Structure 1
Amino acid sequence: MAVRVLGYLESARNLTGSAAALGGLALTFAGFAGPYWPVVVGGLYGAGALLAPPRRPPAPAFEEPSSRLDELRADLVTLRAYLDRVDLPTGAAERLAALTGLLDGLLAPGWVSEALAEDPEGVHGVVRAVRRDVPECVDTYLRARWWTRLAPGARAPEEELERQLTLLHAEAQALVDGLRETEELRQRSHTKYLEDRGGGVPPVGRPPEP
């Protein structure tokens, strides 16, 4: 109870109301309130308390979206360490290097990863590629390769792995293209804003009209 009372005494409502009440006392001493000065002072206090902005709790401070990618960057390092221990055919190794290169670029700290962090579906795609798709592609290839040595199948595991990595690279490239298009749209929107503002500057490559 004492804490609540002390909290109210320090609140903006009480301080504003008290300031208004002091103004009422000043009017009383100046002779404007007369015998009704308690009503005037009380009324001004109540009006001031009502006009004061309400007390509000501070909003929670959540992590910046880009900071959530730190754990994913660490997972990519772990994935690379795993891939370095795996013997892959040349074609698959080249496709895998191209794919991990795209993932590296997307997760590199800076404005690129900040743009990625604002795209929940894009982040989900990268998480899925790093934590599930790539490890599963490589692991199933290693398993299938062993079985194929005992009993050759209809399709070589190397071909299947290259096909899988090609599909994953296409998904990552589509994400990169989407983020690039977003930046291009932002740039064009700013150009349109400048044109609508009436700058009168002709487009690049077109001479001004006489």
Structure 2
Amino acid sequence: MGWLESRKNLAGSACGVAGAGLALAGAGGAWWPLVVVGLYGAGALIAPPERVPVPPFDPGEELGALRADFARLREYLAEVELPSPAAGTLAELAELYGALLAPGWVARALATEPDAVHALARGIRQDVPECVDAYHRTRWWDRMSPGGEAPEQHLERQLAALREEAGRLTAGLHEVEARRQQTHTAYLEERGRS
């Protein structure tokens, strides 16, 4: 059934009908069936192939998986001990991540920005767990051979860098929404002048 509706069959049929018209006009002579079949074949060959439809991707699915990963990260962070300044920065970062992932218009705006989703996913799935785990591993070694740079300092610097990155991500989303608002204002003002 798919072949009957295909572009190749429709183009071949149109050329075959044109061949039948030529045969009725007397152009094909005794060979008119070959002319019709040949024109059908030529039309089927020159017709463009069927276009395979692009699979529909739902950006909300990625955010759903990211929300589940963020919930697991929060469970992990609730079980680990961190120094006071780093714990405060991590709490701010987690609150910002949670606000970005909360269902609603912010998450819908986030879903339209693949780079922002990637940065957020990298922060949740890789950067924050690595910071905390590296702190705990380094702290254990630091007890064995003290005198080096304190692992707390590195943890604080890492979390501050992640907090700054999340701030840039949020500012970028805000800028997109602000431009959208400005564009709509300009459209309404232009429409009012017309």
- Give the alignment's TM-score, normalised by structure 1: 0.67
> Which runs of structure 2 are paired with 1:140-159 in the superposition (5 Å)?
140-159=134-153
Structure 1 unmatched ranges of 5 or more: 17-37, 40-49, 201-210
Q: Distance between the aligned counterparts of 1:132 and 1:68, measured in 2? A: 16
Structure 2 unmatched ranges of 5 or more: 15-23, 26-42
Structure 1's 195 and 3: CA in aligned 2 closer, same or farther, altered over 3 A? closer
Confirm or deny: 8 A CA contact 1:106 1:116 kept in the other structure: yes
* Equivalent of 2:112 in 111, 118, 129: 118
Matched, 1:64 2:55: no
User: Which residue is 2:162 aligned to?
Assistant: 168
Report the CA distance between 1:155 and its aligned residue.
2.5
CA RMSD in angstroms, aligned pairs only: 3.6
Q: Distance between the aligned counterparts of 1:12 and 1:75, measured in 2? A: 50
Q: Which has the higher helix share?
A: 2
Larger Rg belongs to: 1
Can you list the C-alpha shifts for 1:106-125, whole angstroms capped at 9, x where unaligned? 12222222221221211111
Secondary structure at the counterpart of residue 63 of structure 1: coil
Can you list the C-alpha shifts for 1:76-97, whole angstroms capped at 9, x where unaligned? 1111111111011111111111
Can you list the C-alpha shifts for 1:49-91, whole angstroms capped at 9, x where unaligned? x9xxx99567244121222222111111111111111011111
Q: Distance between the aligned counterparts of 1:140 and 1:55, measured in 2? A: 54
Confirm or deny: 8 A CA contact 1:122 1:175 kept in the other structure: yes
User: Which residue is 2:171 aligned to?
Assistant: 177
Can you list the C-alpha shifts for 1:6-30, whole angstroms capped at 9, x where unaligned? 657xx8889x9xxxxxxxxxxxxxx
Q: When the two structures are aligned, how many residues end up with a matched partner?
A: 176
- Give the alignment's TM-score, normalised by structure 2: 0.72
- Equivalent pairs: percent with the same residue? 47
Matched, 1:192 2:159: no
* Equivalent of 1:108 in 102, 105, 108: 102
Report the CA distance between 1:186 and its aligned residue.
0.6
Secondary structure at the counterpart of residue 62 of structure 1: coil
Can you list the C-alpha shifts for 1:183-205, whole angstroms capped at 9, x where unaligned? 011101111112222349xxxxx
User: Which residue is 2:28 aligned to?
Assistant: none
Q: Which 4+ stretches in 1 moved above 4 angstroms?
A: 11-14, 54-58
Q: Distance between the aligned counterparts of 2:170 and 2:181, measured in 1? A: 17
